[in-house]
Structure 1
Amino acid sequence: MKLRLLTWDVKDTLLRLRIPVGQQYQAEANRRGLQVDPSVLEASFRQVYQSYWRLFPNYGLSQGMTSHQWWLDVVSRTFHLSGVQDKGTVQPLAEKLYQDFCTAKYWEVLPGAREALQGCGDLGLKMAVISNFDRRLEDILRNCDLDRHFHFVLTSEGAGCSKPDLKIFRKALSHAGVSPQHSAHIGDDYNNDYRAPRQVGMFSFLLQPDSGRLKEQIPPDHVIYSLDQLVPKIQRVMS
């Protein structure tokens, strides 16, 4: 197999949150004199996020929303559900959190990610991002000093569709000018990052740091338990 293109998921593949969302929201609220339980904020956020993604998928783009407004609504409703009712306080708080998530303040690079990116680049692979993220992702990657590894970044907001929709992978392949047979994808979600790219004819690797999470029947060569295993597996695929 002549591999020419490697596409990457980002969240929980290359980057992860430094601390849980509830703690991040609590810290910013505390700076404004608000006392909110971080565990309550965490539970509220998960509930609101899941509800909003179901009702207004992919940041509500097809329903006339912007990702900025989508996130402000999610954060505001998270605080409302957690008992903070004052809109005059919550709106600027939501805006501050939205802006801060563009920076490296809340993100950290996963162990082995920089080495894996460098190693894949040394193999001569063109690399890109395919992520269910909003327009802030390019800034985040730049602020975490990862952007230099990628030829392009394709977010679900930019593509107008989100994984596991096969169109987002086809858009990336078209943009790269590479056929699916010469491409591979890596990520941590079975449906989004393993099954979907295979349905368009790409190879794929599933990153599963916790081996106990692996419930699907996947060939062992397709599973990576840490990013330091990636380059040797790619070399075997390419040989």
Structure 2
Amino acid sequence: MFDTPPRAVLLDAGETLLYAPPSTSAIAAAVAGEAGLPFTAAEVHAAWNGVEPEAQTRIDAGERSTLSTERSQRFWFWFYGRLLTKLGVPQGRHIALASAFYERFTTLDTWDLYDDALVCLNQLRQAGVTLALVSNWESWLESLLHHRQIHHYFDALAISGQVGAEKPDAAIFHAALGQSGASAEEAVHVGDSVASDVEGARAVGIRPVLLDRSRSLAPQPDVPILHSLTDLPALLGLA
């Protein structure tokens, strides 16, 4: 438990509050199946994992895919092209399939809340803390928040596609703090990425909490790890 409860709680969106059920791999396999390519979710998952290190290299080199629709499309069409290559799909089919993938994953109904998200949001709201969303996502995330009826929980929104900066850049955290009226020392940030969430928050003086739903992340020094948002209010001393 934190010695001092926070005044503001900053929350990541993807893989923290929201996900694409049953999984991104299963959805991609379904889209491929609609095009006559009967891949299993396991096959897509393996290929997806194979592309992710290449994607991380591009991100480490400075690519910021959520800052505009054009950047998003460029990045994801590249990603889906690499995915299809690993699956052995002929090059001539890549553009149409990448377009189908992109359309499905930018459709609001594709995304849903984790079962523990609403319970946690309600408890935090009842505790009287300021809530801020800090997410690397295109600007349409705000429409998704309305669609899933959680927009009203947040006092501040720092969405990279709107503020022009992605985690771990300090600017997106400062945007959230500025809107919430809290100092870095009064805030906690919760997310599922060591690089974006933990390191980004720490760099600006915000206390981080790592959410590891898959129980696959390595422990980080002096960083609490949760496996469900259900345990967050108690950890913060708010329950």
Q: TM-score range by the shorter chain?
A: 0.7 to 0.9
1:233 aligns with 2:235: yes
Structure 1 residues 115-170: Cα deviation after superposition (integer angstroms, max 9, x where no partner)? 11011112222212112223332233333322221234323343433322333212
AA in 2 matched with 1:111: D
| Identity between Structure 1 and Structure 2 (%) | 24
The SS at the match of 1:18 is coil
Question: What TM-score do you get using the length of structure 1 for normalisation?
Answer: 0.80
CA distance in 2, matches of 1:86, 1:204: 43
Root-mean-square deviation (Å): 3.0
**CA 1:39–1:214 in 2, change beyond 3 Å: closer, same or farther?**
closer
1:52 aligns with 2:55: yes
Question: What TM-score do you get using the length of structure 2 for normalisation?
Answer: 0.80
Residue 193 of structure 1: how far off its partner (Å): 2.3
| 1:51-200 mapped onto 2 (5 Å cutoff) | 51-55=54-58, 57-59=63-65, 66-85=71-90, 87=92, 89-200=93-204
Report what 1:224 is aligned to. 226
Structure 1 residues 52-76: Cα deviation after superposition (integer angstroms, max 9, x where no partner)? 34225221869x9521232123223
| 1:10-29 mapped onto 2 (5 Å cutoff) | 10-29=13-32
The SS at the match of 1:25 is helix
Q: Which runs of 5+ in 2 are unaligned?
A: none
Count, aligned residues: 233
- Does the CA contact (< 8 Å) of 1:102 and 1:139 recur in 2? no
Structure 1 residues 77-128: Cα deviation after superposition (integer angstroms, max 9, x where no partner)? 32233222253x4433322322222345433322321011011112222212
AA in 2 matched with 1:29: A
CA distance in 2, matches of 1:178, 1:44: 42
CA distance in 1, matches of 2:15, 2:7: 24
CA distance in 1, matches of 2:5, 2:55: 41
Question: Higher helix fraction: Structure 1 or Structure 2?
Answer: 1
Q: Which runs of 5+ in 1 are unaligned?
A: none
CA distance in 2, matches of 1:61, 1:114: 28
